[in-house]
Amino acid sequence: MGSTKILEGIVVSDKADKTIVVTVSSRSKTKFKGKTLKRSERYLVHDPLNGAKEGDIVQITQSKPISRNKRWRLFKIHSKGDNILPSPENVEKEDLK
């Protein structure tokens, strides 16, 4: 039997109901010159409790298809992240000048 894949990434969007977008970064070296490449991939992840928020570091696991594009489930929330971007209510017009 195959093993279950578990990936770790950062939540970049939590706007949809029961769905989050997670970016998983990886590094690889080219065969010829040994140059290091940084790649990232975005996954649509099922979050049934809407527990993960933007900026959180999470683990996701592969599952059976949940919808047209969702093939991953939220496994664990490692750490809660702070929202990097300030909310529009907190930004005043004077700060932008």
**pLDDT (tens digit per residue) in 19-39:** 999 999 999 999 999 999 999
Amino acid at 5: K
- Asked if the structure places residue 70 within a domain, the reply is yes
Question: Which regions in the chain score pLDDT beneath 50?
Answer: 85-87, 90-91, 93-94
Q: Are strands 19-29 and 36-46 parallel, antiparallel or unpaired?
A: antiparallel
Q: For residue 36, what are the domain limits?
A: 6-82
Tell me how far CA of residue 7 lies from CA of 25, 50, 65, in angstroms.
10, 19, 17
Phi, psi of 50 (to 5 degrees): 55, 40
- Asked if the structure places residue 60 within a domain, the reply is yes
User: What is the reported pTM?
Assistant: 0.77
**Structural contact between residues 20 and 11, judged by C-beta atoms closer than 8 angstroms:** yes
When divided into structural domains, the chain yields a total of 1
CATH number of the domain that residue 50 is part of: 2.40.50.140
- Asked if the structure places residue 95 within a domain, the reply is no
